[in-house]
Structure 1
Amino acid sequence: MITHIVLFKLKDASADNVERTMQVLRNMEGKIDVLKSIEVGADVLHSARSYDIGLITKFDSLEDLEKYQVHPEHQKVIAHMNEVRESSVSVDFES
């Protein structure tokens, strides 16, 4: 199993924008066959080092993660995130 975690810092971290962006991420559920699970959440601490949104996805293999990266539904999400994010960081590991 591969766990893919991404943290997003948004240009506009208003509650409405965070919720709208989380919904864009959640909309991938059920539309990408290699995506085994997805969890999306908003930061609750709002500290200086916090990111605004966390995304956790799981895949059976690195090959499936690679398929996810180029999937048309994920490409739509990337287009949205390119507009709204200030920065992001990620980590991928075997779980």
Structure 2
Amino acid sequence: MIRHYVLFKFKPGVSWDDPRAQEAERTAAKVGGEVPELREWTVGRNKSTRPIAYDFVVVGLLDDMDAVERYLVHPFHQQAISAWREISDWVIADVEE
């Protein structure tokens, strides 16, 4: 199993008051129901106020790296990424469990 972590950090000038951020959050929340490779899907806003903290996280569980690759190119996932690309930068980790 692969646990897929993505942490998003808003670009300067973007906050949760921005409608684009709210739409990106709504879209991200739906990914788990749209991408069949995802066994689990969790999303959430960060509560930490530390300067190094990221703003949003998604965590998915997939069978293997082949499933990760299918998830990455899924059209709904690509739609979600498009929304985040405009307003944030991100880091990822794919961890074997």
Same fold (TM over 0.5): yes
Q: Distance in 1 between matches of 2:35 and 2:78?
A: 11
Map 1:38-57; keep pairs closer than 5 Å: 38-57=41-60
CA drift at 1:49 = 0.5
CA drift at 1:19 = 4.0
| 1:20 corresponds to 2:41 | no
Query: Number of aligned pairs?
Result: 94
Which runs of 5 or more residues in structure 2 are unaligned?
A: none
Deviation larger for 7-16 or 26-35 = 7-16
Q: Distance in 1 between matches of 2:86 and 2:6?
A: 16
Of the three residues 60, 65, 73, the one matched with 1:62 is 65
RMSD: 1.4
Partner residue, 2:7: 7
Q: Distance in 2 between matches of 1:21 and 1:49?
A: 21
Does the residue aligned with 1:91 lie in a helix, a strand or coil?
A: strand
Instruction: With the length of structure 2 as denominator, give the TM-score of the two structures.
Output: 0.87
Does the residue aligned with 2:32 lie in a helix, a strand or coil?
A: coil
Give the % identical residues. Answer: 30
CA drift at 1:45 = 1.3
Deviation larger for 76-85 or 9-18 = 9-18
Per-residue CA distance 1:53-89 (angstroms, 9 max, x = gap): 011011011100000001111111111111111x211
